[in-house]
Amino acid sequence: MSSTISVTPGKNVIGAEVSGVDLSRPMDDETFSVIENGFRAHRLLVFRGQELSAQQQVAFSKRFGKLEDFPDPKDQADGFKTVLRVTNIDRATGGIKPVDDPGHKSFTLGTSAWHIDSSFRTLPSRASMLYGIEVPKKGGDTMFADTTLAYDALPEKRRADLHRLDVVHDFEETRRRHNLPPRPPEVQAATPPARHPLVTQRENGRRALFLGSHATGIDGMNDEEARSLLDDLVTVATKPEFTYRHKWTSGDLVMFDNICVMHQAMPYDLANARRLSHRTTVAGDKPLARVS
């Protein structure tokens, strides 16, 4: 094992920084287990000063499990279907995409709301790794909010009321909210709405709220009531004491738990500042566990 790897909790209650590890190199099991345990304990890990090809990012990410595919070739990095380009740069021209390009606009609006990657899937994903390559000098931070801490902070009676609720998560919700045209029916058919418990029990016994902007309704509740409850819980979960703000430097890789960590992209000068990140996402292998 590398003798220098260390996991240092941040100032906030969510997240830790991992140093002394080069993610581009093959990793022995002992080093990997330090990272895995750190991730379980802190739910968000920051690795700085990395230099990763798409292939190396895939190799590291795959240590955690099977990766999700991004089916549209124009979104894929270097021909890897498991690496999503998160960017305002047009691959064909190398220049900045027009701000009003519909696909780009919907992505920007979608990621600027608090969300959990892939919450609309039947099997929610386990984690995402976001690797910053080109980062704007100003703006473009990512905010993270921990719904484990938010759950813990709720009064006991309120928690019990939430345990029985199922939430519908739909990828189309963001488009509807921003009055963007729906995706073609065949694309929608590939990601139909999914239902998940509002509160999930993790393997370590802790509980978390499963929320985010793809959440569109609650079974057995009228739309208005459901919207108000979901919005209220997001407000609780995004209180400053439950959040971490990452200011990007090129070479940062941030890995976050996609069951109990929501995130949100902060604005930057879309028309003039270049931004390119590569995202990999570890697929889920089972439905979310209910509170027993």
Residues at the interface with Fe ion (CB under 5 A): 117
Side-chain half-sphere of 163: how many Cα atoms within 13 Å? 11
Q: Which of 117/170 has CB closer to Fe ion?
A: 117
The conformation of residue 182, written as its DSSP 8-state character, comes to P
Q: How far is the CB of 116 from Fe ion (least distance, A)?
A: 8
H-helix segments, 7-164: 29-42, 54-62, 102-111, 147-153, 156-163
Q: Which of 180/291 has CB closer to Fe ion?
A: 180
Instruction: Report whether 264 contacts 50 (CB < 8 A).
Output: no
Q: How far is the CB of 159 from Fe ion (least distance, A)?
A: 27
Q: How far is the CB of 60 from Fe ion (least distance, A)?
A: 19
Q: How far is the CB of 170 from Fe ion (least distance, A)?
A: 16
Q: How far is the CB of 138 from Fe ion (least distance, A)?
A: 21
Determine the Cα–Cα distance for residues 100 and 88; give it in Å rounded to an integer.
11
Q: Which of 5/265 has CB closer to Fe ion?
A: 265
Residue nearest to Fe ion (CB): 117
Whole-number CA gyration radius for the chain: 19
Q: Which of 31/128 has CB closer to Fe ion?
A: 128
* 203 contact partners, CB below 8 Å, separation of at least 6: none
Q: Which of 117/146 has CB closer to Fe ion?
A: 117
